[in-house]
Amino acid sequence: MSPIRVLAVDDSALMRNMLSAVVNQQPDMEMVGTAPDAFIARELIKQLNPDVLTLDIDMPRMDGLEFLSRLMRLRPMPVVMISSLTTRGSAATLRALEHGAVDFVPKPEHREEDNIARWSQLVIEKIRIAARARLTPPAPTARPLLAGIRVRQQSIIAIGSSTGGTEALRQVLMPLPVSTPGIVIAQHMPAGFTYSFAQRLDSLCQIAVREAQDGEPVLPGTALIAPGDRHMEIIGQDSGYRIRLSDAPAVNRHRPSVDVLFDSVARQASRHASAAILTGMGGDGARGLLHLRQTGAFTLAQSEATCVVFGMPREAIALGAAKKVVDLGDISQCLLDSFAYKSSPKTDSRR
């Protein structure tokens, strides 16, 4: 198999050298070129035909967002953003994902050997995933609002996602009406980005979207996103639920872990829950989705044709965890319809 051909675009010579060293140490990839700005990158893309591009956001002459937007219109290819952890940087990174970037890697905050080693491993993983990713055209910025449903206090929706999940979640949440059961979400994302991500979704959706806080209630018409680097669970409170956050060890190499969230929803809500597992690499969430289905919850997995990375849904389907496999554009309605089905007196809670 041919090695993955990588081109790094960054105005920092140090970052270009770091990325080159990391990539060239891998047997399955090679750094075919580096560029200090978008104009040189444009010429190198034509000459070198790379498989994956790593792209900085803050660059002279043309910033990474503008270059990415032009690139995805004229020559779509897998792009991994190399992003600052600042508030401005996280907001720009989310816009890059909307423009079609596959994923992102925060720039290392500290230069200690252990931190650089972890960062290097993350870069390699993201490049490998990007090389296999399915590029999807940008979704419309607006979608028709769906009809509301009668919301019961015990009803709840749980969603898990990873690579490609920021855009998938946007498409799922935007059409949902205020009369939607409370939603809890585990999206694999580092600390420092989930707050901006929630703010961005909140500005686009009819429902309220925010980063979850420990102890807060799960309310209808609200989606709560697990903070980066913290597990999120629900616990029973009267006839509803509230959030519990923890710093427990990573599960399936992730914190937040989709399995941790799904298992808690299965224990607390069982047949009152509906759950969806969306695009992402690996198997996090597959066993939790099976647990949910076994307790009577309605479960679905995103279809391969609409996933950026068909990993987590594939694992869930293989386990028999998904009652339905659904295209991304139909997931919102399918989740709402599942509650009408639950309210039917003939419903078999085990399905």
Strand ranges for 22-126 from DSSP E:
29-35, 52-56, 79-83, 103-106
In 3-state terms, what secondary structure has residue 342? helix
pLDDT of residue 204: 94
The one-letter amino acid at 174: M
Q: Over range 324-351, report the average pLDDT.
A: 78
Q: Which of 90, 284, 303, 332 is catalytic?
A: 284
Q: Which residue has the tokens 């792009």?
A: 79
The whole-model pTM stands at 0.92
The CB density around residue 228, as the number of other CB atoms within 10 Å, is 20
Give the model's pLDDT for residue 107.
86
- For residue 323, pLDDT over 80 is answered with yes
For 119, how many CA atoms within 13 A lie in the half-sphere containing its CB?
18
Torsion of CA 286, 292, 295, 297, to 10 degrees: -130
Tokens of 14: 């140090």
Tell me if 68 sits within 8 A of 79, measured CB to CB.
Answer: yes
Kindly report which listed range (40-54, 125-139, 320-334) carries the lowest average pLDDT score. Answer: 125-139
Is residue 196 part of the annotated active site? The answer reads: no
Query: Is residue 291 annotated as part of the catalytic site, yes or no?
Result: no
Contact 313, 339 (CB under 8 A): no
Those residues with Cβ within 8 angstroms of residue 11's Cβ, 6 or more apart along the chain or in another chain? 36, 37, 56, 58, 59, 60
Per-residue pLDDT band for 86 (boundaries 50, 70, 90) equals low
pLDDT tens-digit profile of 28-61?
Answer: 999 999 999 999 999 999 999 999 999 999 898 8
Asked whether the predicted pLDDT for residue 139 surpasses 90, the reply is: no
The predicted structure's pLDDT at residue 85: 62
d(CA 178, CA 152): 13
| Residue-averaged pLDDT of the chain | 93
Q: Which two tokens stand for residue 211?
A: 């980063």
pLDDT at 140: 67
Residue 325: which H helix or E strand, with range? strand 324-326
Q: Of 81, 84, 82, which is closest to residue 109 (Cα–Cα)?
A: 84
User: Residue 55 pairs with which residues in a beta bridge?
Assistant: 9, 81
Of 129-133, 188-192, 290-294, which gets the smallest average pLDDT? 188-192
Rg (CA), the chain: 20
Closest CA to 66 of 20, 74, 130, 203: 74
Sequence-ordered list of residues with C-beta below 8 angstroms from that of 86, at least 6 positions apart, any chain: none
For residues 186-203, average pLDDT? 94
Residue 350: Cβ within 10 Å count: 9
H or E element at residue 263: helix 258-268
CA-based nearest residue to 115, from 56, 186, 31, 190: 190
Angle in degrees, CA 124, 126, 131, rounded to 5: 95
Range list of H helices, 139-193: 165-173
Listed in order, strand segments (DSSP E) in 128-262 are: 156-161, 182-187, 208-211, 222-225, 231-237, 240-246
- Summarised one tens digit per residue, pLDDT across range 211-266 is 999 999 999 999 999 999 999 999 998 879 999 999 999 999 999 999 999 999 99
State whether residue 329 is helix, strand or coil: helix
Provide the pLDDT confidence category of residue 347 given band limits of 50, 70 and 90. very low
Contact assessment for residue 170 and residue 285, using Cβ atoms and an 8 Å cutoff: no
90, 155, 161, 162: the active-site residue:
162
> Using CA atoms, how far apart are residues 263 and 221, in angstroms rounded to an integer?
22
Q: Which of 188, 231, 272, 291 is catalytic?
A: 188
Q: Respond yes or no: is residue 254 known to be catalytic.
A: no
- Flag the least confident range among 6-20, 87-101, 318-332: 87-101
Q: What is the pLDDT of residue 175?
A: 97
Give the domains, in start order, of the chain with CATH numbers.
4-132 (3.40.50.2300), 156-343 (3.40.50.180)
DSSP lists the bridge partners of residue 310 as: 280
Task: Inform me whether the pLDDT recorded for 27 exceeds 90.
Answer: yes
Share of the chain above pLDDT 90, in %: 83
